[in-house]
Structure formats: structure tokens, C-alpha cells
Copies of this chain bind each other. A is one copy, B any other.
Amino acid sequence: MTAIKAYAASSKDADLKSLDIKRRDVKKDDVKIDILYCGVCHSDLHQVRNDWKNSQYPVVPGHEIIGKVLEVGDNVSDFKQGDLVGVGCMVDSCQTCSSCKDDLEQFCENGATMTYNSKDKHLGGHTFGGYSESIVVDKEFILTIPENLDAKAAAPLLCAGITTYSPLAHWGVKEGDKVGVIGLGGLGHMGIKFAHAMGAHTVMITTSPDKSEDAKKLGADEVLISKNEDEMKKHAGSFDFLLNTIPVGHDMNPYVNLLKRDATMVIVGAVEPLDPLHGGSLIMGRKSIAGSLIGGIRETQQMLDFCGEHNVVCDIEMIDIQNINEAYDRLQKSDVKYRFVIDMKSLKDS
């Protein structure tokens, strides 16, 4: 075991502060990574504040990790010292259940080990995330970052990226489809970039007219203001696919009305009760509502390769770890375009 520096919350209401944590020594299947950058996800904030009532303190958040390989175990041949790699939301899973065999470790029937706040099989206690100097992870959960991407801006691909790429890919979005991305935040801005890169006619659907200009810069072909009933009527029944990134409960009926016959709206943001849906809005047109959770490791690598090919990264604002509490306050007010990324040099130098 090695003691390393990290940033952690010691309780629900505490600010994040410097704390020493322990990492396991490298075992035969492990890769040890020197963390260069770590994205700040809204889940980090939820977990620190125990919004989901399952937080274990101290919480060391961070599951959008980019770094360089420091050391590999004897069984590791795909990675070597100096490689640019990433770690996302998961660091382990059973590898034997039907979900794992289908490359959908996020649905591991025995429970995937999440990057933080999960049971630590090796050291006991719970896992610690990427707001730290280094991390040791099983080789099956290490991702290769295409060298042509800006490494800092690639960090949020590991969560915000795969969360939006996966449903677009799984539901087969293709060139010429009319795709709506609902909500423009960390997830929504990646939804637009991916839908655009896949060749879809991409429509940003938002309540805020002042987001129009940004949405178009990100790749939206059109902006639909959901509060404008006439506009909503004009687009009724015209979408092949809707990616719903709204992070809170809301009325889905107006969006379902936008779908074509047999089309699907996928929820990726709202892990909470949604307002009453009218059965008729699904029945008329055989429409579907579905949910989607990050993506499996194989698909995450496919997403990163797609990003390398299409030069897709996130729009980010760099911060030092010492400013994380201020960043959380701004994140809660949606005052970021569109993702904070921590320069981990600030932790190492402190």
C-alpha cells in the first residue's frame, strides 16, 4: 500500500479538503496511473452531499480520470508505462454474469465496483475516486485515449461522453435522422456534439432562448424553445430520436409529442420521479420511453475511438483542486460551460 494525497469530503456538509488515502500495490492484472486531469461530474456533488442517501465518508469523488501509466502488473500486455489512459465510472465487475459477458458491465448482476463510494474488494472499506494523485485499476477497466485529442478536454468523455454516446449508438442514430437533445448542460452539450458527428440533423431543445447561440456553435442545426407552443406544434411527430438530459423530474408529455411513430425518447439525467405521463401519448404512434446508464467498457473505448476520428472533446473550464468547493457552488447554479476539469498538478504541488 502507498499513501497518496487526495481531496475528500468528510461529511455531508463539509467542504472538500486535503486528505491522505491509501492505494493498493500493483497486482498482476493491475495498472497504476498517475492522474493528470479529473473531470467534475454532477454525481460528484450529489455524492458529496449524500443526495442519494448512500454516501460513505470520506468521499473522494472523481470518475472522469485521465493519466499516464506508471506501472503495470505481470499479466498486463495492452498497456505500458507512459501510455495516455482513462478511467471512467467503473473500476471492476464480476466479469462472469450475462451483463458482463454482453459487455454491459454497468448492469453487472453482482454489482459493478464504481470508481468511488463502492466496496473496495482489495483493501476493504470503500473505493476512492480521481480527485487524487494516482489510482490502481484492473486492466479490463483501463481505456486508451486517442493521442490526437486534447487530454484535458477528453476527461469528461469518460462519463458525460459515454452517457450520451451510448443511447445514440444503441438506438442506431444515423446520418439524416432528426435528433433532439433536450437540455443544455454537461450531458446535453456532448449529446449535440455526438448527434452532429453522427450526421444527424441535430435540434437543441431548451427552455432558454439565450442558449441558442451556444447550441449552434456546439453543432446544433436548429434550436427549439420548448416553452413556445407554436414551435412545439410545428415539430410535433417529426423526431426520430430524443435524448433527454434534463437532470430533474419534469413533464415528458410535450417531448413525447415530438416523436415520430415508433420513435424513442431516452432519459439519461432524471434519476428521480417524473411527472405523470399520459398513456395515450405512447399508445398513439407506438412510441417508447427508455433509460440508459453510462455504457460498457467496450462501448466506452468505441466512443473514445469515435472521438479520436471525429475530433470530439468536451468544452471545459480548468480549475485547481483548491477551488473545488467554489466550482461545486457554480455547478449547482449550472454556471459552467460545460464541465470543470481539475488540473491534478495543483494537488501534487500543494
Binding site for B on A (CB under 8 A): 99, 104, 107, 170, 249, 261, 264, 267-293
Contacts and interface: CB of A to CB of B under 8 A. Distances in A.
Given A107-B284, A271-B280, 16 more contacts: A99-B261, A107-B285, A170-B286, A249-B276, A249-B279, A271-B283, A272-B280, A274-B279, A276-B276, A279-B291, A280-B291, A281-B291, A283-B293, A285-B291, A286-B292, A287-B290
A283 B261 contact: no
9 A-B pairs with the lowest CB-CB distances in the bound complex, closest first: A282-B291, A283-B291, A270-B279, A288-B290, A273-B276, A271-B280, A288-B288, A283-B293, A267-B279
A90 to B, nearest CB: 14
B293 A284 contact: yes
Please indicate which of the listed interface residues A107, A264, A283 has the most CB atoms of chain B within 10 Å of its own CB: A283
13 contacts: A107-B284, A107-B286, A249-B279, A269-B279, A273-B277, A277-B277, A283-B293, A284-B293, A285-B291, A286-B290, A286-B293, A288-B288, A288-B289
Contacts of A249: 276, 279
A40 B53 CA distance: 51
Contacts of A285: 107, 291, 293
Nearest to A246: B279
A100 to B, nearest CB: 12
A282 B276 contact: no
A47 B90 CA distance: 54
Nearest to A270: B279
A292 B275 CA distance: 21
Nearest to A252: B277
Q: How many copies does the complex hold?
A: 2
A191 to B, nearest CB: 15
A267 B293 CA distance: 23
Contacts of A104: 261, 286
Contacts of A170: 286
Nearest to A282: B291
Contacts of A290: 282, 286-289
Contact of A277 (B99, B274, B284, B286): B274
Nearest to A260: B98
Contacts of A275: 276
A283 B264 contact: no
B279 A276 contact: no
Contact of A272 (B99, B279, B289): B279
Contacts of A278: 271-274
A267 B275 CA distance: 17
A14 to B, nearest CB: 27
A219 B290 CA distance: 30
A283 B273 CA distance: 12
B288 A264 contact: yes
A279 B271 contact: yes
Contacts of A271: 278-280, 283
A282 B281 CA distance: 18
Given A268-B283, A283-B291, A274 B276 contact: yes
